[in-house]
Amino acid sequence: MGYKGSAPPPTSRTCIPCPQKLREFGLTVLEINGHDPGAILSALNHPPGERPSAIVATTVKGHGVSFMENKMEWHYLPMTAEQYRTAVGEVERHEDNPFEISHSPLPGSRLRLPNRGPGIHGT
């Protein structure tokens, strides 16, 4: 289990694991690796069933950016221009990254999925 709020377990409050809780509410739960673009697209394109569905994606905060990974402070701290350039460079060089980064003069650009035919697309 990862971070909750601003502290890692066990110092943060824990509760029933999210997938289990969602199942108890009657949802169909798809548990995926939130860093795997194929798993994300597959889950988003999962055929609807008789019950509502939920996708639970396991991720690591700051994944793919060396100075941010598993560091809670990067969930809310602003980046300097140099940190932004470094982070974008690391994400763009990652071999499994299907995202295009919309460059803007300010940090905080939005990630987009390129149009890859029928299915779910970013905007």
Output the pTM of the full model. 0.61
The domain spans of the chain are 1-8+16-59, 64-114
Report how far residue 84's alpha carbon sits from residue 30's, in angstroms, rounded to the nearest whole number: 33
Task: Decide if pLDDT at 107 tops 80.
Answer: no
Q: What is the DSSP letter of 74?
A: G
pLDDT tens per residue across span 18-77 = 899 999 999 999 999 998 888 999 999 998 889 999 999 998 888 889 999 999 888 888
Checking DSSP bridges between strand 53-58 and strand 100-101, what pairing results, if any?
A: unpaired
Structure tokens at 85: 């350039």
